[in-house]
């Protein structure tokens, strides 16, 4: 049963959407309509099977082979490609970089965005709330290619905006080739990603906060609760569902990251900014080693699958209904 309530212009409650049990609804549709509906389900199931589950299974099959795309020759190698993963130092670097991406993104795009959204939604005037939401959302509307190029110029050694700013404030010693040094390249990319993703998370949190009844805050104020107390005791628990979702989506996204790295460094210098996605591409499409590329894809799949299950479990156990 899906029910929603809204208030009409006179202030009287009006029910919208489906109401009542499913049985009378189905009976009203009749057997022919029911069969037709089932047909659409079958079509959707076949499409999902073909475009989602078949590639997943096929990927595991490919990872047990060595294939040459030019000749079409295939040799079964069992789990050799997975054993190779253990001794490949770049895989270790890539997993570490993905993990860094995930941790930093959770701090900024989940907890940072949550605090910012609460501050914005705490503003008294709606026009200012709209204004700040828009200001923070704009970077998310820019394509990753454009953002990558923009930050490429910001990070340019000596002439870039960042190094120039550091020089201007007397920190010239800190200026460096941010994308050109092995120690800083991945952090420079992650920083750009925070800049772009922060506003989107803030917007989602703002929507979640808007759903919290105003009366709860009014009551808390009457009880003498301050801003941080209200944030911690009302806003945070009642947006837990969104927070959980954002944590999982952010971690999953961090292990799927590809475009940002390709545009800015291509995984260099010396593979220092490789992530699993770019290393997969490098192996498959540059080094022509599709079996090993598929094995890397399997690793990404397993990590994101575990994260996906964690999402289901978390949202099931921590859901708070208002």
Instruction: Give the shortest CB-148-to-another protein separation in angstroms.
Output: 11
Which residues are within 8 A (CB) of 216 and not within 5 positions of it... i.e. 6 or more apart?
Answer: 234, 238
- Asked whether the CA dihedral 188, 114, 146, 127 is positive or negative, the reply is negative
| Of 109 and 271, CB closest to another protein | 271
| Of 120 and 295, CB closest to another protein | 295
Instruction: Give the shortest CB-51-to-another protein separation in angstroms.
Output: 7
* Residue indicated by tokens 């060595």: 66
| Of 136 and 178, CB closest to another protein | 178
| Of 239 and 271, CB closest to another protein | 271
- Secondary structure (H, E, C), the chain: CCCEEEECCCCCEEEECCCCCHHHHHHHHHHHHHHHHHHHHHHHHHHHHHHHHHHHHHHHHHCCEEECCCCCCEEECCCHHHHHHHHCHHHHHHHHHHHHHHHHHHHHHHHHHHHHHHHHHCCCCHHHHHHHHHHHHHHHHCCHHHHHHHHHHHCCCCCCHHHHHHHHCCCHHHCCCCCCCCCCHHHHHHHHHHHHHHHHHHHHHHHHHHCCCHHHHHHHHHCCCCHHHHHHHHHHHHCHHHHHHHHHHHHHHHHHCCHHHHHHCCCCCCCCCCCHHHHHHHHHHHCCCHHHHHHHHHHHHHHHHHHHHHHHHHHHHCCCCC
Instruction: Give the shortest CB-170-to-another protein separation in angstroms.
Output: 21
| Of 196 and 282, CB closest to another protein | 282
Instruction: Give the shortest CB-37-to-another protein separation in angstroms.
Output: 18
Instruction: Give the shortest CB-110-to-another protein separation in angstroms.
Output: 15
| Of 113 and 251, CB closest to another protein | 251
| Of 229 and 319, CB closest to another protein | 319
Which residues are within 8 A (CB) of 169 and not within 5 positions of it... i.e. 6 or more apart?
Answer: none
Instruction: Give the shortest CB-61-to-another protein separation in angstroms.
Output: 7
Q: Are 300 and 284 in contact (CB under 8 A)?
A: no
Instruction: Give the shortest CB-67-to-another protein separation in angstroms.
Output: 5
Instruction: Give the shortest CB-100-to-another protein separation in angstroms.
Output: 19
| Of 121 and 289, CB closest to another protein | 289
- Note the residues at the interface with another protein (CB under 8 A): 51-52, 54-56, 58-59, 61-62, 67-74, 152, 155-158, 176-182, 185, 241, 245, 248-249, 252-253, 256, 265-266, 268-271, 280-282, 284-290, 293-294, 297, 300-301, 304-305, 307-308, 311-312, 315-316, 319
């Amino acid at each position: 049963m899906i029910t929603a309530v809204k208030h009409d212009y006179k202030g009287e409650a009006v029910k919208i959407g489906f109401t009542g049990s499913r049985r009378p609804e189905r009976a009203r549709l009749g057997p022919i309509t029911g069969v037709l509906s089932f047909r659409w389900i079958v079509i959707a199931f076949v499409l999902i099977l073909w475009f989602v589950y078949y590639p997943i299974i096929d990927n595991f099959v490919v990872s047990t082979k060595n294939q040459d795309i030019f000749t079409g020759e295939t040799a079964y190698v069992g789990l050799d490609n997975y054993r190779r993963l253990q001794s490949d130092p770049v895989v270790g670097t890539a997993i570490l970089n993905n993990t860094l991406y995930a941790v930093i993104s959770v701090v900024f795009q989940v907890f940072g965005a949550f605090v910012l959204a609460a501050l914005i939604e705490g503003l008294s005037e709606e026009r200012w709330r709209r204004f700040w939401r828009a200001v923070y959302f704009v970077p998310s509307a820019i394509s990753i290619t454009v953002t990558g190029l923009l930050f490429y110029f910001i990070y340019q050694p000596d002439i870039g905006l960042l190094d120039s700013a550091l020089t201007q404030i007397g920190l010239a010693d800190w200026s460096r080739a941010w994308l050109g040094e092995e120690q800083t390249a991945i952090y420079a990319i992650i920083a750009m990603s925070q800049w772009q993703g922060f506003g989107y998370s803030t917007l989602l949190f703002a929507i979640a906060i808007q759903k919290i009844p105003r009366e709860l805050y009014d009551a808390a104020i009457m009880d003498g609760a301050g801003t941080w107390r209200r944030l911690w005791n009302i806003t945070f628990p009642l947006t837990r569902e969104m927070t959980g979702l954002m944590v999982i989506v952010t971690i999953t996204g961090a292990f799927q990251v590809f475009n940002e790295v390709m545009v800015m460094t291509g995984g260099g210098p010396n593979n220092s900014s490789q992530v699993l996605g770019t290393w997969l591409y490098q192996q498959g499409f540059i080094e022509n080693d599709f079996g090993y590329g598929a094995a890397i894809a399997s690793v990404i799949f397993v990590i994101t699958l575990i994260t996906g299950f964690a999402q289901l479990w978390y949202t099931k156990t921590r859901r708070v209904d208002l």
